[in-house]
Structure 1
């Protein structure tokens, strides 16, 4: 059938269930934005800058399965590149759509604005090749094949992709056969049977098996199958910090979160003594292992990746994890595996609110009681990440964070994406003052779109995590002193957000009660002592200092 390139692109995005596109208008992308303006099935959300748009598309992808942003060429897409790199590191399928100069200008190497004025149009594409799994410059000749190829590659690999869209091609008609198929690659039947049989034998031989999950289980929506395997074979489970709440923490057999020797001693020992570890996409990163303090016997690891399985030195390629687990369950005979216990939840009595100054311990203990089942928690790195990571959560919680790429300021624009991807769920943001100053202007977009999260601004007067790493009193860890609670109202004079600053537990209690009753954005500035921090974060910072500056002499030539 015949269809214009612009209409075909929008149909492909709809096939990925993308209904909101983030970005910033620029002269090279206006033709595409004009198409969106008159298409009721998709909505363009204008951001304050392209980096924030990339973060918003990332947050949208975490809950929706895919997200997209629109930029102009050069100044726009390169401004978004750190956000695209973060999406790659954290396995978020984000589509970056860059409007470029018209095709005739690119073919003739014209010296145009938003370029280096040297006729080179390969340099920006070469940058994106380092941080995306598929890229293409779309032309009338290749659009019918390249648009589906690039988008399906990103969806299948759960990584970002990049399309350059010349400004003069959107109304060009092309012939297309079909729309984007949302399916994973097919497993090789023979390799699938071999892989599942080998895995079954390995599990049956194990005396001390464990399941270790990472982001992959969430991104590929594998939770039901992983839980079925754990139940079928009575295998205890744990998760990396990057997979916080990917499985319910009330799951029988769940042992708590694993982060090397910063985990509970019982869990650390259990994983160190395991003779079979079903490892689902696990990446042992400094920030998630207590600086490489993990002790996992590598000979026990069954490395399960999205499209392969490695077991006892044998690689089984071209098999999907979902197919392997489903076949494993079908091959297994009925067993009388003992029921696993639910990890006991520590009972801590909350202190009575008073007029004494707030501290980290009380604040996070109170927040643990405030969080409800099915909430979405968007959590910045730093004291917030450390505190939320240590909490025992109710069922149905989704945690959105960026512990690997660790770009501070990510969470506020990401919240814009998560709110639009899951509008029926209550959403809480925990962000530090230093991080907030990076991307604060996106509060104006939240207000313009009439979104209603509860935002907790942790004001501890600067970069506390950096102070604990190095330079406690150094000026480079200081930031400007903002009146945070007054800022949201300034950013949209037509909105009436609920804003309050709290310094005592009594004030916090009143603010939480009021915020819960609001049908509008709630913004709570929480004033805490500068050097007050969760103990886990303090230990992590000491290890970071030793790793970065201490025990290792630079190697000549390194």
Structure 2
């Protein structure tokens, strides 16, 4: 939680001290509490013009901005109902697992009030439970649907996280014997070391042999999916609604038939695991057609570094004490191909698709998961958006490893719609980070142009500089992209450029 504009954060400190357990690594549905310092309570209702406004005596501008991106907003202008408003905001964020906005007049923090006289007590939110009749009906319809299928499969989606249903999903895999895949933004939510894991389902850019098994199945259960133009590769999925069971956090839809509300995903998957028949046909089919992927071509001495060689080395760095953050761009596709060891964390953001998000995400993840060393793969264009967060990483003494892939522009945009606006001003990235470091804290930078230099830099980062923030700038050719980005970019470009429907 970040505070802005408040002079004395006494009340805000009480909020932050509330002992709430928030699940780690939340992705698309985040219980974020945005705390803003608001105008002096005496200024409301006057005709005064204040700073941080557009010059009108209207103090609701910021509130209106946040209304579209938060599920609850509260403006605290007096102490009488401050406690109630704050409690309601926190409870709503946790219950809905969505952001809330809380504005507190800047003259209120630090003032005593009886409602804040006791230390905060832990929140208790009643768990959400399924409607028992609805749960039974949903399980019965799903069992009938799946048990009639010849080669059913399972696909995990990103809302497994908010539903806290990852373990229940794996239990269903064990009970059913089905092959299972994950959608790209669900990578890391379920183990990839399970013998029935077949990779990432991402339409035309799926892991090798994964899409063929999923799309040829006669029944597929998607647990917590988000289907958008990016995850569907420009709406080019070869899926059929009548073959699909869609399980959302509180709802189940079976093919073209019935829908069941008030059914919690975790309970549903657990009950389904008790009754579904075992069927490993899809997995057996996968094993028949699977061919292990090859290795990148060996580099010539001092050959310019290729991105596929970089990720070959990143793969070797991963263990249960690692976590990976994949920036929007070609790192989406290269990081998807990494095989995560048991316990290795992974963060990936696709719904909004904003570039630069990973720098702030790295800062927050590393601060909250201090038992892991985080490896971030970030493009040069993305880094330029939020580079200043490196300063806070250093102040917080973080020891993450940043691979800055410098290929001279917005490569993902080039593959969707090219133009001169995708070329950026090149920075001296290592020099910038050294300047931010300014001799204070632990920081080490390196610029690499070939595999020999990369190997040496990784050895240093994992060895003598293991307690430092390590920033490794990788010089790559502007056209060095994954084959998946080329395919994905072409399909998304085609979807974006569809002509208007005739009137």
Compute the TM-score of the two structures, normalised by the length of structure 2.
Answer: 0.88
Counterpart among 478, 500, 503 of residue 554 in structure 1: 500
Aligned twin of 1:490:
435
Offset at 1:166? 2.0
Aligned twin of 1:156:
95
For 1:148 and 1:305, locate their aligned partners in 2 and report how far apart those are by CA, in whole Å: 28
Counterpart among 131, 135, 155 of residue 73 in structure 2: 135
1:9-408 to 2 correspondences below 5 Å: 21-22=1-2, 25-26=4-5, 29-32=6-9, 34=10, 63=24, 90-108=28-46, 110-138=48-76, 139-170=78-109, 171=111, 172-174=113-115, 179-264=122-207, 266-312=209-255, 313-330=257-274, 332=275, 346=293, 348=295, 351=298, 354-408=301-355
For 1:178 and 1:500, locate their aligned partners in 2 and report how far apart those are by CA, in whole Å: 48
Q: Does 1:470 align with 2:427?
A: no
Aligned twin of 1:431:
378
For 2:270 and 2:482, locate their aligned partners in 1 and report how far apart those are by CA, in whole Å: 41
8 A contact 2:200–2:206 mirrored in 1: yes
Aligned twin of 2:484:
536
Aligned twin of 1:507:
453
Offset at 1:417? 0.4
8 A contact 2:93–2:100 mirrored in 1: yes
Offset at 1:386? 1.5
- Matched residue SS, 1:63: coil
Offset at 1:416? 0.8
Offset at 1:529? 0.8
Aligned twin of 2:364:
417
8 A contact 2:323–2:344 mirrored in 1: yes
8 A contact 1:309–1:317 mirrored in 2: yes
Offset at 1:349? 7.2
Change (3 A) 1:150 1:543: same
Structure 1 stretch displaced more, 505-514 or 214-223: 214-223
For 2:94 and 2:74, locate their aligned partners in 1 and report how far apart those are by CA, in whole Å: 16
For 1:264 and 1:394, locate their aligned partners in 2 and report how far apart those are by CA, in whole Å: 17
For 1:349 and 1:111, locate their aligned partners in 2 and report how far apart those are by CA, in whole Å: 63
For 1:185 and 1:140, locate their aligned partners in 2 and report how far apart those are by CA, in whole Å: 32
Compute the TM-score of the two structures, normalised by the length of structure 1.
Answer: 0.80
Q: Does 1:440 align with 2:381?
A: no
Change (3 A) 1:504 1:213: same
Structure 1 stretch displaced more, 180-189 or 313-322: 180-189
Offset at 1:469? 2.9
CA RMSD of aligned residues (A): 3.0
8 A contact 1:280–1:304 mirrored in 2: yes
8 A contact 2:207–2:337 mirrored in 1: no
- Matched residue SS, 2:115: strand
Offset at 1:152? 2.7
For 1:277 and 1:167, locate their aligned partners in 2 and report how far apart those are by CA, in whole Å: 54
Offset at 1:476? 1.9
- Matched residue SS, 1:137: strand
8 A contact 1:428–1:455 mirrored in 2: yes
Aligned twin of 1:70:
none
For 1:144 and 1:445, locate their aligned partners in 2 and report how far apart those are by CA, in whole Å: 31
Deviations 1:175-218 (CA, angstroms, capped at 9, x unpaired) = 89975224532322332333233333333333222212111112
8 A contact 1:374–1:425 mirrored in 2: yes
Offset at 1:30? 2.3
Change (3 A) 1:135 1:38: closer
Offset at 1:353? 7.2
8 A contact 2:30–2:97 mirrored in 1: yes
How many residues of Structure 1 are paired with residues of Structure 2 in the alignment?
A: 488
- Matched residue SS, 1:30: coil
Change (3 A) 1:116 1:424: same
Structure 1 stretch displaced more, 255-264 or 163-172: 163-172
Change (3 A) 1:209 1:229: same
Offset at 1:227? 0.6
Deviations 1:100-150 (CA, angstroms, capped at 9, x unpaired) = 113332244543222234332333222212111222223545444433333
Change (3 A) 1:115 1:383: same
For 2:178 and 2:52, locate their aligned partners in 1 and report how far apart those are by CA, in whole Å: 56
- Matched residue SS, 2:24: helix
Offset at 1:423? 0.2
For 2:133 and 2:492, locate their aligned partners in 1 and report how far apart those are by CA, in whole Å: 46
Change (3 A) 1:91 1:40: closer
8 A contact 1:381–1:406 mirrored in 2: yes
For 1:443 and 1:400, locate their aligned partners in 2 and report how far apart those are by CA, in whole Å: 18
Counterpart among 472, 482, 485 of residue 524 in structure 1: 472
For 2:14 and 2:241, locate their aligned partners in 1 and report how far apart those are by CA, in whole Å: 56
- Matched residue SS, 2:387: helix
8 A contact 2:48–2:57 mirrored in 1: yes
Structure 1, unmatched stretches of 5+, are 1-20, 43-59, 66-86
8 A contact 2:193–2:341 mirrored in 1: yes
Aligned twin of 1:78:
none
